[in-house]
């Protein structure tokens, strides 16, 4: 090998590099490997095979905004690299070369939003394909200093000391499996592919600086100005990656980040309305609508959580479909008219009821198969009635709604047990014999479930919410205190209480069919 490299400070040096490479004495192990043991088509087919697998799996794995590139090392480029490295490595055979050059076939995953979450998604996809034993390695690896090395010598290695980290990536070395085949690839023993995961900015920087950094033997050493410029660009790349990550976090918070508590949902409604107002030519002509308040927000928050729609873009889309807030009054009237019993919704619950009904309209009601105890049945029905009371603005309006529902005698008596029986507290605590109490609840429970299967029933809608668990967990005393709806028929309450206590010889005091 020549003792000196060609001078490429002028343009003639660039023209002479090919001649320089051609005149180098190629070490026999390198020549044999490149000419007889390195099959470019095989490695290129292998890289393309992995690229195809990753394209499908990364999409299924939810990785956003990425690009793939694959390549096998060009024979001439590989030969040049091996010639340069031979002086240090002194290869003996092909195995030595393969152990040193681990990226003969490579795939690069380029992330446009290089967040920790996206890197983790990529890792999960790779491990699902090639196994959990495949672990990521940072590039470059963490530097470890040799304590016996003279620190003055270390400083003299380079005239220019970069201030930034340089090329940064996550690398995976994956062994090919027998069933992984491509158009131009057939599996061979010990086939390996290096997968590099980088940000788009780092990828661009690496592509621009590759020849300067890795081909100084041919192009000549970079000038001080070139190294400074490349280092400065690397600093911009790292700052850009940080800004992209921060930007993605901001966008995610506005679109896909889950609401963690109801205060975030309340703030979302205010921000949504403010944003809509800013888009108007004359915002003063619109009044601020009544937003959902404490109880309504809690119900809606729990519902969205149960439906896995507790993120901004899902709620925003539904609000837009309801034409909220500017034409919402028309939408509200259409929804109210669709109910069998046309209620007058409380101002702070109107949007909540309409939004929930809109999101549930396409979902057929399927009663849970669990056989609930009398305690749980009573609690669910009381919660539904408390929601009804809140949705209609008070106990009186809720009582009238139930009267208008035209219940039969058995349903009236059963609902009255839920509304007014002094035995409810013991039932809610599970102290009363559940099998004795359950017949008293059966007609009401059957009615509620029938209403739940009817999209025209407000009470059925609220029962579905209570059955889902979209209600506050409160103690029996609080639950009894919250439900203020009076009985539909005072006389029927006594007969139901007697029925719960045991057989009675007293005739019912409520005329048949009375409501």
- Looking at every residue in the chain, the average pLDDT score rounds to 84
What are the Cα distances from residue 443, in Å, to 8, 78, 117, 176, 427? 95, 82, 51, 65, 17
Q: Is 41 exposed, middle or buried (0-12, 13-18, 19+ CB in 10 A)?
A: exposed
pLDDT at residue 404 tops 50: yes
Beta carbons of 55 and 68 less than 8 angstroms apart:
yes
From the CB of residue 489, how many other CB atoms can be counted at a distance below 10 Å? Answer: 22
| Per-residue tokens: 286 | 């619109």
Beta carbons of 427 and 374 less than 8 angstroms apart:
yes
Q: What is the mean pLDDT of residues 10-14?
A: 44
Q: Which of 1-10, 289-298, 363-372 has the lowest mean pLDDT?
A: 1-10
Query: In 3-state terms, the chain is what percent helix, strand and coil (to 5)?
Result: 60, 5, 35
Q: What is the mean pLDDT of residues 247-259?
A: 91
pLDDT number for residue 500 = 43
Beta-carbon contacts of 30 under 8 Å, excluding residues fewer than 6 positions away, are: 79, 82, 83, 86, 91, 97
pLDDT at residue 53 tops 80: yes
pLDDT at residue 511 tops 50: no
Query: What percent of the chain clears pLDDT 70, i.e. is strictly above it?
Result: 82
| Per-residue tokens: 361 | 């309209």
* Model confidence pLDDT, tens digit, residues 469-488: 998 889 999 999 999 999 99
289 versus 81: the higher-pLDDT residue is 81
pLDDT number for residue 181 = 86
Look up the pTM and report it.
0.70
Beta-carbon contacts of 193 under 8 Å, excluding residues fewer than 6 positions away, are: 46, 47, 50, 105, 106, 107, 173, 174, 176
| Per-residue tokens: 69 | 């590139």
Q: Which CATH class is domain 11-141+162-250?
A: alpha beta
pLDDT interval class at 283 (50, 70, 90)? low
- For residue 409, the SS3 value is helix
DSSP 456-509: T-HHHHHHHHHHHT-S----HHHHHHH--PPPS-HHHHHHHHHHHHS---SPPS
Q: Is 477 exposed, middle or buried (0-12, 13-18, 19+ CB in 10 A)?
A: exposed
Beta carbons of 447 and 350 less than 8 angstroms apart:
no
Terminal Cα-to-Cα distance of the chain (whole angstroms): 107
Rounded Cα gap, residues 440 and 435, in angstroms: 10
Q: Is 350 exposed, middle or buried (0-12, 13-18, 19+ CB in 10 A)?
A: buried
pLDDT number for residue 8 = 42
Q: What is the 3-state secondary structure (H, E, C) of 215-276?
A: CHHHHCCCCHHHHHHHHHHHHHHHHHHHHHHHHHHHHHHHHCCCCCCHHHHHHHHHHHHHHH
pLDDT interval class at 362 (50, 70, 90)? confident
* Model confidence pLDDT, tens digit, residues 179-188: 998 888 998 8
Beta carbons of 414 and 444 less than 8 angstroms apart:
yes
- The full set of domain ranges for the chain reads 11-141+162-250, 262-360, 374-501
Q: Which of 25-34, 283-292, 402-411 has the lowest mean pLDDT?
A: 283-292
Looking at residue 431, the DSSP 8-state letter turns out to be: -
Nearest to 185 by CA among 320, 42, 60: 42
Beta carbons of 483 and 394 less than 8 angstroms apart:
no
């Amino acid at each position: 090998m020549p003792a000196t490299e060609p001078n490429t400070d002028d343009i003639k040096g660039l023209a002479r590099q090919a001649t320089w490479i051609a005149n180098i004495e190629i070490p026999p192990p390198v020549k044999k490997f490149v000419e007889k043991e390195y099959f470019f088509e095989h490695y290129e087919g292998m890289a393309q095979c992995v690229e195809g697998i990753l394209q499908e799996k990364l999409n299924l794995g939810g990785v956003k905004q990425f690009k793939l590139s694959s390549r096998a090392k060009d024979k001439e480029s590989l030969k040049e690299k091996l010639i340069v490295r031979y002086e240090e490595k002194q290869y003996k055979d092909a195995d030595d070369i393969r152990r040193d050059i681990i990226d003969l076939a490579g795939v690069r995953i380029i992330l446009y939003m290089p967040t920790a979450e996206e890197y983790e998604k990529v890792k999960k996809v790779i491990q699902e394909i090639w196994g959990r034993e495949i672990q990521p390695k940072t590039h470059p690896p963490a530097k470890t200093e040799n304590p016996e090395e003279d620190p003055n010598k270390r400083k003299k290695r380079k005239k220019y000391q970069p201030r930034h980290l340089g090329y940064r990536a996550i690398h995976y070395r994956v062994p090919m499996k027998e069933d992984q085949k491509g158009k131009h690839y057939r599996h061979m023993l010990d086939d390996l592919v290096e997968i590099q995961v980088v940000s788009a900015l780092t990828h661009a920087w690496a592509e621009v600086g590759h020849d300067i950094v890795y081909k100084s033997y041919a192009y000549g050493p970079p000038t001080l100005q070139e190294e400074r410029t490349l280092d400065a660009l690397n600093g911009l790349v790292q700052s850009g990656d940080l800004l992209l990550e921060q930007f993605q976090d901001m966008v995610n918070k506005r679109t896909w980040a889950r609401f963690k508590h109801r205060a975030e949902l309340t703030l979302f409604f205010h921000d949504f309305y403010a944003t809509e107002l800013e888009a108007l030519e004359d915002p003063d002509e619109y009044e601020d609508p009544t937003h959902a308040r404490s109880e309504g927000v809690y119900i809606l928050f729990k519902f969205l959580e149960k439906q896995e729609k507790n993120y901004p873009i899902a709620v925003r889309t539904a609000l837009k479909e309801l034409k909220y807030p500017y034409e919402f009054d028309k939408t509200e009237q259409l929804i109210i008219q669709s109910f069998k019993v046309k209620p007058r919704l409380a101002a702070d619950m109107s949007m909540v009821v309409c939004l929930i009904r809109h999101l549930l309209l396409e979902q057929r009601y399927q009663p849970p198969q669990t056989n609930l105890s009398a305690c749980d049945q009573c609690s669910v029905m009381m919660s539904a009635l408390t929601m009804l009371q809140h949705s209609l603005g008070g106990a009186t309006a809720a009582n009238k709604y139930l009267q208008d529902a035209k219940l039969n005698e058995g349903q009236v008596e059963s609902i009255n047990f839920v509304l007014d029986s002094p035995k409810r507290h013991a039932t809610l605590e599970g102290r009363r014999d559940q099998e004795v109490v359950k017949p008293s609840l059966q007609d009401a429970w059957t009615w509620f479930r029938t209403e739940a299967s009817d999209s025209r029933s407000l009470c059925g809608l609220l029962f579905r919410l209570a059955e889902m668990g979209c209600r506050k967990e409160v103690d029996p005393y609080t639950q009894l205190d919250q439900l203020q709806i009076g009985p539909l028929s005072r006389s029927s309450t006594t007969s139901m209480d007697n029925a719960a206590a045991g057989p009675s010889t007293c005739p019912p005091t409520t005329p048949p069919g009375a409501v």
